[in-house]
């Protein structure tokens, strides 16, 4: 009982940004969303469109991106376009930012959200898979940030990094994925310090997500995770809101993520035991 209560208290702390959110804050803003062909990224594109933002969307599958762009235009986006390609290559990551520069001549918000495919299983020693996933889930985030920084400095804009509870608390069967998400926290938290030291007025928001009901996540872990997933539509809105309010960190859903993160620091062995026993019972179902 105490843990959820503590979680809720802290959730209020994490949610309350330095002002009130209004959808007007996004009107006319120039926003890049990666991983926007499905899942949370797609939902973020729709919210931003409804709020009247300019959106530049990216992922690999052109046909899906075209549909998302069409719907964004129907919903009232100031403009909507896409660039398709794979974030396994940092050259493509830079190309997306270049496209924003050519089209808009500036950028207000960079939402880094895509992930490459990973397995939910024992780590099989495949070092190449870890390298590839680091390139897609981490290095491309760094490359896009570096390319976008001059425009973001100019607009005093925002970087929003979509991470996971797996980037705060490790669990079995996710070693490569978890590594990429921990890397994001280290890199962007260090960068945040440097921005403050150098008076760079660009915010960095790290989004720590629990289980969300995207098609891919449900397909991969629904047989292992007992609780119901949180809705992707609300999750997408919370990410945009936390970025617009320049919050340091978002916990969503807060009632689960915040207590878990607290337990990691105060009772790590207890938390690890909980994580393993949950998965052990799930593995019986699996077999
Ligand atoms: P999805 O799998 O639904 O979407 C992933 C997106 O990334 C798709 O648009 C996909 O499009 C794109 N993508 C995949 N591979 C590449 C690639 N090589 N290059 C460029 N784009 C690629 O993910 P979710 O919406 O579930 O997750 C979004 C974010 O939320 C991720 O950062 C994830 O880690 C985080 N998160 C999600 C949770 C959940 O339960 N859903 C839990 C915790 C965190 P395409 O295939 O067309 O390229």
- Give the model confidence (pLDDT) of 158-187 as tens digits: 999 999 999 999 999 999 999 999 999 999
In three-state secondary structure terms, 223 is coil
For ligand 1, whether the C-beta of 116 sits within 6 Å is yes
Determine the atom of ligand 1 nearest the C-alpha atom of 181.
34
Q: Name the helix (H) or strand (E) containing 186.
A: helix 175-197
Check pocket membership of 164 for ligand 1, CB cut-off 6 A. yes
Do the Cβ atoms of 32 and 44 come closer than 8 Å? Answer: no
Catalytic residue selected from 15, 46, 82, 177: 177
**By the 8 A CB rule, do 35 and 59 touch?**
yes
For the segment 182-239, what is each residue's pLDDT rounded down to a tens digit? Answer: 999 999 999 999 999 999 999 999 999 999 999 999 998 888 887 899 999 999 999 9
Residue 97 beta carbon below 6 angstroms from any ligand 1 atom: no
Protein residue with least CA distance to atom 32, ligand 1: 113
**DSSP tag of 76:** T
Active site residue 252: no
Provide CB contacts within 8 A for 99, sequence distance 6+: 56, 81, 83
Residue 286: per-residue pLDDT: 42
Question: Which residues, 6 or more positions from 45, have their beta carbon under 8 angstroms from its beta carbon?
Answer: 33, 36, 55, 57, 68, 72, 80
Between 17 and 25, the higher pLDDT residue = 25
Q: Which residues pair with 80 in a beta bridge?
A: 55
Instruction: Find out whether the beta carbon of 253 lies less than 6 Å from any atom of ligand 1.
Output: no
ipTM over 0.95: yes
Distance 268 CA to ligand 1 centre (A): 28
For the chain, the C-alpha Rg in angstroms (whole number) is: 18
- Among 32, 33, 83, smallest CA distance to 60 is for 83
**Is the shortest distance between the CB of 177 and ligand 1 below 6 Å?**
no
Distance CA 171, CA 94 (A): 32
């Amino acid at each position: 009982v105490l843990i959820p209560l503590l979680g809720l208290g802290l959730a209020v702390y994490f949610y309350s940004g330095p002002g009130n959110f209004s959808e007007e804050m996004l009107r006319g803003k120039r926003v890049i969303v990666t991983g926007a062909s499905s899942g949370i990224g797609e939902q973020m594109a729709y919210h931003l469109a409804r709020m009247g933002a300019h959106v530049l969307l990216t992922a690999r599958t052109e046909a899906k991106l075209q549909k998302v762009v069409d719907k964004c235009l129907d919903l009232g986006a100031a403009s909507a376009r896409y660039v398709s390609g794979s974030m396994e290559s940092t050259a493509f990551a830079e190309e997306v930012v270049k496209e924003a520069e050519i089209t808009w001549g500036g950028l207000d918000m960079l939402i880094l959200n895509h992930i490459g495919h990973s397995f939910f299983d024992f780590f099989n020693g495949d070092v190449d898979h870890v390298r590839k996933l680091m390139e897609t889930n981490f290095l491309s985030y760094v490359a896009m940030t570096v390319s976008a920084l001059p425009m973001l400095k100019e607009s005093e804009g925002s970087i929003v990094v979509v991470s996971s509870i797996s980037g705060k608390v490790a669990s079995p069967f996710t070693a490569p994925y978890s590594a990429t998400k921990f890397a994001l926290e280290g890199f962007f938290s260090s960068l945040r310090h440097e921005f403050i030291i150098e008076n760079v007025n660009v915010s960095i928001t790290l989004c720590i997500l629990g289980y969300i009901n995207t098609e891919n996540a449900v397909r991969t872990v629904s047989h292992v995770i007992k609780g119901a997933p949180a809705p992707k539509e609300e999750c997408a809105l919370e990410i945009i809101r936390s970025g617009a309010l320049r919050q340091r960190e978002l916990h969503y859903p807060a009632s689960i993520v915040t207590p878990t993160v607290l337990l990691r620091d105060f009772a790590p062995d207890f938390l690890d035991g909980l994580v393993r026993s949950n998965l052990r019972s799930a593995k019986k179902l699996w077999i």
